[in-house]
Structure 1
């Protein structure tokens, strides 16, 4: 049987008629630039991705940012030497230019009791994992699918009677983070200043958490796309991104 995956991945994609000189690329990391992995630490960066991102950034006059739920330090770990802006933890932390210091919002401290309960919950479900962040944490249940509903119920009970933190669904995960923090706010913050200001943002993501970023991009005249609705796989998007960076240089 002939494998048609590669053909399908590279030919099915939306048409984006925005020249690099007018574009700002705002890209999610997990499930978009890299394939989803069993754990956050086990993702693999495809060979050539760093070169594509550097070429794209140069074409767009520096208007390229990674907008992710991960801490900025993790993006630097997986994409060393890639000169790009990064919004980490859904916009809690922002580095607007390569080499700039990271600016972080002042947020309430996460109740220690929640983390203790989260650790006990993960210990009871082999395959589940706890991802700590400065402003919250994520419980992953990809390795223990049957734990998902129990995790949701427990986390909702911790949040009762307060409004400073919110529960957000993700792919095979539940995240607690400060109220009002989302990728839409991150997009708006980036688009206020050079080199992003005045350009049309192109936001690409894969998860429900990316919808805030897509809506924010569209509100300022940009476009947004999701995997798999618009690109069938992360690989298809990476192939499209490489193609755009290689053939649209004449539009600059």
Structure 2
């Protein structure tokens, strides 16, 4: 196991390795941006683009977004910034900005489930269906009364099969391929340049990020969660900006 290097910035936040040795693997929703009522309505905070660009340059390009979203959505919100993106919890992977998205070999969500999900969301105002390449998410942030009906429906769909799993998220239920998680994504990214040989720093905010936290720590790096290690996502972003300013 690699021994973490001395902290580059620790006086007002968690430890981080010196930037010439660090690799940053960051969640998007609830971490780099605040949670919004719907996935499409998130806002990129002023100054975040500059922070990420500076950090990317200082750590030799070893900056990745590890997200539950499809890669195309990260390109929309953070165009040209991350060196690499792991989308849909690691189901899809792009290792460089000009690289191709690695092919996905996955079973698609059954059409019947998608149709039933559409019908279910239509019954509950202020809820949303998010489609993915090999999964879907039912969001109930705008209508907490939908939490139990959504879970019950998903459990019914998944009964008797072992290809897909149900995963809780913040005010949402997700159907995802079994065995796909952010820990795998962290390991895959850290295996190749410009990440290989560096000390991983993974930051997230949700139960779906725990696999990424564990993977980073297992490699001798750092794994942090909001609100356990940073009180809010804004506090994390301020810490991230300070890292670059103090370099």
Q: TM-score, normalised by structure 2?
A: 0.94
1:206 counterpart residue number: 205
Give me the whole-angstrom Cα distance separating, in 2, the residues matched to 1:169 and 1:137. 12
1:179-213 CA-to-partner distances (Å, cap 9, x unmatched) read 11100000010011111111110000000000000
Structure 1 ranges of 4+ moved more than 3 A: 11-14
Give, in angstroms, the shift of residue 16 of structure 1. 1.1
Q: Which residues in structure 2 correspond to 1:233-252 (within 5 Å)?
A: 233-248=232-247
Structure 2 residue 26 is the aligned partner of structure 1 residue 27: yes
Give structure 1 stretches of 5+ with no counterpart: 1-10
What is the count of residue pairs matched by the alignment? 238
2:224 counterpart residue number: 225
1:8 counterpart residue number: none
2:110 counterpart residue number: 111
Give, in angstroms, the shift of residue 98 of structure 1. 1.1
Give me the whole-angstrom Cα distance separating, in 2, the residues matched to 1:145 and 1:13. 36
Shifted more, 151-160 versus 81-90: the winner is 81-90
CA contact (8 A) 1:203 1:223 kept: yes
1:131 counterpart residue number: 130
Shifted more, 122-131 versus 72-81: the winner is 72-81
Give me the whole-angstrom Cα distance separating, in 2, the residues matched to 1:76 and 1:137. 20
Give structure 2 stretches of 5+ with no counterpart: 1-9
Give me the whole-angstrom Cα distance separating, in 2, the residues matched to 1:124 and 1:13. 47
Matched position secondary structure for 2:46: coil
Give, in angstroms, the shift of residue 43 of structure 1. 0.3
Give, in angstroms, the shift of residue 52 of structure 1. 0.6
Give me the whole-angstrom Cα distance separating, in 1, the residues matched to 2:119 and 2:82. 39
2:195 counterpart residue number: 196
